[in-house]
Amino acid sequence: MKGNVIGFDPDTNTGAISGHDGKRYDFVTAEWHGHSQPRHGDVVDFQADGDRAAQIYLVDAEYVQPTLGEFLLSPHGRISRSQYWLKWALPVIAITIVLEIILFIILDPIAAAVIIGIYSLLLIWPSIALYIKRAHDRDRPWPFILLMFLPIIQFWPLIEFWFLRGTIGTNRFGADPVPHQ
């Protein structure tokens, strides 16, 4: 049967699962077969034994595509390299080039520079949120992006964010955004 972990106490090594049948099942860590401690919300497969859960296995969560607003503005969750490049980096580069060409043709240079400056300011938060999600995909906490501000070391996070695949399978930040084959 499938269910969700609704609580776990590491001090007593006990927890509870809400079964998809609507019943509550208690468990002990001796029955837990996951790669990490149980966490609230974990999807599990287990055998019901009365009001106890036995042979509990963690089920990898399914990745849910974020909405456009969640993709651009929320720092929570994970995004893959392809999502970063195809939905953010390449479109922003193309829009920036076209916008600069058009603005510098039709406006005087000062007005064009002001508009480009405002445009650049609008890109700051989405850029930060997306770098945080790429860090999460690599199973790194958000402070890892601060390394981008240190000379020479700044290339390390950029290489990870731009070119390296994220953690395979579910990690502490969510489900794997790359479909399994």
Asked if residue 14 lies in contact with residue 51, where contact means CB atoms within 8 angstroms, the answer is no
- Neighbour count for residue 39 (Cβ, 10 Å): 13
DSSP E strands in the chain: the ranges are 2-9, 14-19, 24-28, 43-49, 52-58
pLDDT grade, residue 180 (50/70/90)? low
What's the CATH code, domain 2-58? 2.40.50.140
Residues of the chain with CATH 2.40.50.140: 2-58
Whole-prediction pTM? 0.70
Q: pLDDT per residue over 125-156, tens digit each?
A: 999 999 999 999 999 999 999 999 999 898 99
